[in-house]
Amino acid sequence: MQAGSNPDQPILVLKDVAIGYDSSDPLVKVPDLHVFPGEIIAIAGPSGIGKSTLLRTIAGLVSPISGTLKVCGRTLPENPPRGHLGYVPQKLGLVRHASVRHNVYQGARAGTNIRKERQDRSIRAIEEMKLTEKSREPIRRLSGGQQRRVATARTLAQRPRLILADEFLSELDEETLSSVLEAVTNYVRENNASLIVVEHDITRAKMMADRLLIIDDGRMNPFIEGTQALEVNP
């Protein structure tokens, strides 16, 4: 199935959500967030504030302390429909002894049961991430930036409706960065998918996002258009 869904239905809803690991001391509170198909949302904020924890919570890997999360039409703890949610974690979770091709194929497997389609998607995603020459190499022989591109290719091969990407542009040189960014944003726009990206570099975050969410001391930064503050450490 293509990524596009009903543009009137939010792909993600957070309502009065508190996240963190200690229920008496939440890291971040999100009063209200709606993300619609076709939107690119960037989340910025200082190190250690809870950006990755927020993505892990949306991905269903950490339970919210309180509140309601609706992901791809399903309310947690119910899982989103198979293949709809793609996640590029900060710690990439690649199979290090296996090849680029094998790792990317795992994403395609999550997205479709059709064998030929899995192969086609994998080849295309590897091309888009400029990794064709590396496709038989084991992950452990790749640089940090190349490994990050493998994790991005794995998610593109899945063709999800919602992509959660955690610092997926870090360790990339300028040239690779622009081609990776272009491939991912094209995917989102062409398929009416949504992208939520954690990006510590504010300039980059503004460059790619329709909306920028700052997690800081809970106040809105008045200089950034469309900014919506997330309440932190209340």
Q: Calculate ∠ Cα 63-80-25, nearest 5°.
A: 15
Q: Does 155 bind ligand ADP (CB under 6 A)?
A: no
Binding residues among 47-106 for Mg ion as defined by CB under 5 A: 51-52, 90
The 53-72 contact track toward ligand ADP, x by CB under 6 A, reads: x-------------------
Give the Cα separation of 37 and 45 in Å (integer).
Answer: 24
140 Cβ contact list (under 8 Å, min separation 6): 96, 97
Q: Could you tell which of Mg ion, ligand ADP, none binds residue 179, using a CB distance below 5 to 8 A set by kind?
A: none
Whether 162 contacts 84, CB under 8 Å: yes
Instruction: Name the segment binding ligand ADP (CB under 6 A); options: 48-56, 91-99, 156-164, 223-231.
Output: 48-56
Whether 85 contacts 5, CB under 8 Å: no
Give the Cα separation of 101 and 94 in Å (integer).
Answer: 11
Instruction: Name the segment binding ligand ADP (CB under 6 A); options: 4-12, 30-38, 43-51, 98-106.
Output: 43-51
Among 50, 60, 67, 83, binds ligand ADP (CB under 6 A): 50
Q: How far is the CB of 148 from Mg ion (least distance, A)?
A: 13
Instruction: Name the segment binding ligand ADP (CB under 6 A); options: 7-15, 45-53, 148-156, 187-195.
Output: 45-53
Whether 142 contacts 134, CB under 8 Å: yes
Residue whose C-beta lies closest to Mg ion: 52
The 9-28 contact track toward Mg ion, x by CB under 5 A, reads: --------------------
Q: Of 81, 150, 143, which Cα lies nearest the Cα of 111?
A: 81
Q: Is 38 or 86 the residue whose CB approaches Mg ion more closely?
A: 86
Whether 86 contacts 59, CB under 8 Å: no
Give the Cα separation of 190 and 188 in Å (integer).
Answer: 6
Which residues contact Mg ion (rule: CB under 5 A)? 51-52, 90
Which residues contact ligand ADP (rule: CB under 6 A)? 21, 27, 47-53
